[in-house]
Amino acid sequence: MSQQPIVKYRLDYTKPDFTITDIDLDFDLSADITTVTARSRVVRQNSHATTLVLDGEALKLISVNINEQPWQDYQLTVNGIEIYGVPPEFTLTIINEIKPIDNTALEGLYVSGDALCTQCEAEGFRHITYYLDRPDVLARFSTRITANKAQYPYLLSNGNRIAQGELNDGRHFAQWQDPFPKPCYLFALVAGDFDVLRDVFITQSKRQVDLEIYVDKGNLDRTQWAMTSLKNSMRWDETRFGLEYDLDIFMIVAVDFFNMGAMENKGLNIFNSKFVLAKPTTATDDDYLGIEGVIGHEYFHNWTGNRVTCRDWFQLSLKEGLTVFRDQEFSADLGSRAVKRIDDVKLLRTVQFTEDASPMAHPIRPDQVIEMNNFYTVTVYEKGAEVIRMLHTLLGEEKFQAGMRLYFERHDGSAATCDDFVQAMQDASGIDLTHFKLWYSQSGTPQLMVTDHYDQALGQYCLTVKQVTPPTADQHDKQPLHIPLDIELYHANGEVIPLQYQGKVLDNVLNIHHSEQSFTFDQVKEKPIIALLRDFSAPVKLHYHYHDDELIFLMQNATNAFNRYDAAQMLLAKYIAINVDHYQHAQPFVCPDSLLDAFRGILLSESLDPALIAQILTLPSENEIANQFDVVDPDAIHAVRAFLLATFANDMFDELLALYRHHLMAEYQIDHTQMAKRALKNGCLNLLAFANDNALIDQLVVKQYQDADNMTDSLAALNAAVKAQLPANNQLLRSFDDKWHQDGLVMDKWLMLQATSPQPDALENVKALLTHRSFTLNNPNRIRALIGAFVNHNPVAFHAADGRGYQFLVEMLTELNQKNPQVASRLIDPLIRFKRYDQKRSALMQNALQRLLKLDNLSKDLYEKITKALNV
Ligand code: B3K
Ligand code: ZN
């Protein structure tokens, strides 16, 4: 490392000494060397300041001018430039050079395939020019791009195109102007040759917006769904939030080399091609839903993120938590609300709860950061969205929308804080949110311990709720939070018991404020059965002593679909815990008939949405199960899960097969009814593959694979073959490779399957695949599909007792540390959680981290996580 990384603290925020109101950028573009001329209007904000400090990284400075005169009084520093003796208001012109071709970190201006594109959030703009690279400096941007016309026929930037023309030597130019002041992280530039899908959208106030989707040549037939999703997003934001688009053009560009999902640059969203390109033969139903969600998410940022942005990066959840909440609601309104909710909760429980229990634990509004890119986390995003959802639950839709309107009234066109947001919600609703705000500053997963007592004589039911948030790596002491706990009571016959006390009707949502609180309900004629945490009303872990028959009752009777699913999960969790213990003590596994009958009942239900049935029937992943335990035993979890899969498959064989056949569909359509049926059909096939007698299933799998006219069905067949190690496994993998090897996005599915295969030599196979013709360490999607899937989703192989998995990750990180620090930093997560494993594994994991710590030029990204984990 060139310098000791610096920790930044949220409470150290100060306003910048100078601001920039306008910037004219001029790019003389080529992949080898690009010359950037930045002409900025700089205005002093602090009357004492005479030194302008600008951020800049990996730039070659050519010249500095102030008010059109050369300026010599400056110094280059490790972090940028300091310009001395500047006047209160002036025009600063800086010329510098950059080398996009050498930019393997994909941050700033870089090469993706044959195109040039940018990624500036969080701090990428300083890789383009010297600037006040912080979100609270909002400037009007104009951008002129000059480049070779044959190589780069399309030259795009933010806002409206105000000029374009031909130049000498086969060059051309385009000039763009964005009327909305913005922080530089929303700047974007794209140059390349593309196919373009064009459409228009008429806004609610009858303005026409041109919509353009740019993709690599030859991919036009994979763009329609993205366009449909974009128009659906624009319509939905108008109807549900009353928010209309503000420019006359909205562009999306799909690129193959991208560190994350997509980026909400003003008027010019840049997307990982994974979240744009889809046609039935190459994309699965899940891919389609992913595209809809991400297109929505980036579009919704135009208001929650761009029109109102963040004051500083500690406030990231202001835009991300809120925008995730909005995209979740969008997907729920367009598809199945219950299924979407369950998917979101699964992600939160599997990944965010794990993060809370790791060295990287942080509140949704972090207090200290070394590398900001490390904080684009499930905590900031998904837990952030849960916090917004709790506000929505406490206020109700109407008051929540009033809060949104007040928020925009107050903060449109400026950079705000999380406190500003909550204040707007409080002022618009009249609901006191003082205590609620603690969710922003306290990390960790609260545990709710619920007990109850029924008094037959008085007809009273009393509920006692205790809350404890265990200490996290970043914070020892925890306070009680304001938790909305949504409940419902049932009679044994399934009837709902109205909540009341002394003649007063009570709300289903209980407000928990204290470490212990009791609630009494009367007019309860018999001991009720309680559904707790309806719709997962708070991101907490729930403890309540349910009997098996109560859970089975809830699986059949809860009015809330999430509760039905959750009851099934709790029932499974009980027997998983019992069997893990049996595994560790060399005792036989157990699975009661009552449990199997309950799941059979769900399988045969004619009233439930098939997609919900499929979700309930899908056994929790090994990572999900790991969350049940303080110390994770990957071998035991794997064995227990395999036992349950086989038990379910053998016990329900006939029903699964009948249902599979019943849902074989003639025609492929992308709509929620058909997707739900496919989910159930493929869920059945996947379970059947684990039955003892699998010769018939092997044939079924091969037939489905060969007959399929869509990726959902062919991948489901391949997945069943690989996960159950059916005889056809290798033959199908080869045929997939033959057919798709030239298509990276499709091959990611194939790589991922092998990375997560239960075969004993999975690691050797992964290593061999590093040299496969479709793989390259230069593409983040390929890295995530192969290496990411292996380390994150093949716990048995990654945590092999001899440490081979850890050694492999060390080798990969050694290679990626300099090449692409952001991608490397995401891969290290499973290694820093060593405290959750037995002593032997834990020692091997720490040893691996020690070796990484000694790397030359260790990136800030890895440094931050490793030092936190090792506590050095
Ligand atoms: N705002 C971007 C994420 C940027 C990540 C920078 N490392 C995408 C999104 O959340 O919409
Ligand atoms: Zn976002």
Q: Please write down the HEC assignment for all residues of 509-553.
A: EEEECCCEEEEEECCCCCCCEEECCCCCCCCCEEEECCCHHHHHH
* Minimal-distance CA residue to ligand 1 atom 8: 263
Q: Supply the mean pLDDT for the chain.
A: 98
Q: How far apart are CA 269 and CA 295, in angstroms?
A: 9
Pocket probe for ligand 1: among 263, 297, 306, 861, the residue whose CB has the most ligand atoms within 8 Å is 263
pLDDT higher than 70, residue 587: yes
Please give the distance, rounded to the nearest whole angstrom, from the Cα atom of residue 263 to the centre of ligand 1. 6
- Letter for the amino acid at 65? N
Please state, as a whole number, how many other Cβ atoms lie within 10 Å of the Cβ of residue 456: 10
pLDDT, residue 347, reads: 98
From the list 232, 48, 218, 246, the residue with the least C-alpha distance to 160 is 246
**Closest ligand, as measured to the CA of 121:** 1
pLDDT, residue 100, reads: 98
pLDDT higher than 60, residue 856: yes
* Domains of the chain, each with CATH number or no CATH: 18-193 (2.60.40.1730), 314-441 (1.10.390.10), 447-545 (2.60.40.1840)
Rama region for 253: left / alpha / beta (φ>0; ψ in -120 to 50; rest): beta
Please give the distance, rounded to the nearest whole angstrom, from the Cα atom of residue 648 to the centre of ligand 1. 41
Alpha carbon separation from 64 to 37, 49, 75, 93 (Å, rounded) = 10, 19, 11, 6
pLDDT, residue 2, reads: 52
Rama region for 812: left / alpha / beta (φ>0; ψ in -120 to 50; rest): alpha
Of ligand 1's listed atoms, the one at least distance from the Cα of 373 is 7
- Letter for the amino acid at 715? L
Residue whose entry in the numeric block shows the structure tokens 């092997």: 698
Q: What is the pTM of this model?
A: 0.99
Pocket probe for ligand 1: among 107, 265, 320, 377, the residue whose CB has the most ligand atoms within 8 Å is 320
Please state, as a whole number, how many other Cβ atoms lie within 10 Å of the Cβ of residue 148: 15
Sign of the Cα torsion 413, 416, 421, 423 reads: negative
* Minimal-distance CA residue to ligand 1 atom 2: 263
**Closest ligand, as measured to the CA of 324:** 2
Please give the distance, rounded to the nearest whole angstrom, from the Cα atom of residue 185 to the centre of ligand 1. 10
Please give the distance, rounded to the nearest whole angstrom, from the Cα atom of residue 143 to the centre of ligand 2. 24
pLDDT higher than 80, residue 361: yes
pLDDT higher than 70, residue 1: no
| pLDDT class of 694 with cuts at 50, 70, 90 | confident
pLDDT higher than 70, residue 96: yes
Question: What does the pLDDT look like over 432-470, one tens digit per residue?
Answer: 999 999 999 999 999 999 999 999 999 999 999 999 999
Please give the distance, rounded to the nearest whole angstrom, from the Cα atom of residue 860 to the centre of ligand 2. 23
* Minimal-distance CA residue to ligand 1 atom 10: 320
Please state, as a whole number, how many other Cβ atoms lie within 10 Å of the Cβ of residue 826: 24
Q: Which of 57, 107, 123, 298 is catalytic?
A: 298
* Minimal-distance CA residue to ligand 1 atom 1: 263
Please give the distance, rounded to the nearest whole angstrom, from the Cα atom of residue 417 to the centre of ligand 1. 18
pLDDT higher than 90, residue 341: yes
* Minimal-distance CA residue to ligand 1 atom 5: 121
Q: Which residues have beta carbons under 5 A from ligand 2 (an ion)?
A: 320, 323
Residue whose entry in the numeric block shows the structure tokens 């740019």: 214
pLDDT, residue 60, reads: 98
Question: What does the pLDDT look like over 139-153, one tens digit per residue?
Answer: 999 999 999 999 999
Q: Are the C-beta atoms of residues 280 and 104 closer than 8 Å to each other?
A: no
Residue 482 CB partners (closer than 8 Å, separation 6+) = 433, 435, 436, 438, 439, 511, 512, 513
From the list 343, 223, 207, 345, the residue with the least C-alpha distance to 282 is 223
Please state, as a whole number, how many other Cβ atoms lie within 10 Å of the Cβ of residue 295: 28
Q: How far apart are CA 220 and CA 321, in angstroms?
A: 33
**Closest ligand, as measured to the CA of 135:** 1
Mean pLDDT across the stretch 239-252?
A: 98
Of ligand 1's listed atoms, the one at least distance from the Cα of 122 is 6
Of ligand 1's listed atoms, the one at least distance from the Cα of 320 is 10
Ligand 1 residue neighbourhood (C-beta within 6 Å): 121-122, 260, 262-264, 297-298, 301, 320, 373, 376
Please give the distance, rounded to the nearest whole angstrom, from the Cα atom of residue 215 to the centre of ligand 1. 20
Q: Give percent of the chain with pLDDT exceeding 70.
A: 100
Question: What does the pLDDT look like over 175-211, one tens digit per residue?
Answer: 999 999 999 999 999 999 999 999 999 999 999 999 9
- Letter for the amino acid at 258? F
Q: Give percent of the chain with pLDDT exceeding 90.
A: 99
* Minimal-distance CA residue to ligand 1 atom 3: 263
Cis peptide before 122 (omega within 30 of 0): yes
Mean pLDDT across the stretch 719-738?
A: 98
| pLDDT class of 815 with cuts at 50, 70, 90 | very high
Q: Is 397 a catalytic residue?
A: no
Residue 434 CB partners (closer than 8 Å, separation 6+) = none
| pLDDT class of 3 with cuts at 50, 70, 90 | low
Strands (E), 567-616: none
Mean pLDDT across the stretch 607-612?
A: 97
**Closest ligand, as measured to the CA of 185:** 1
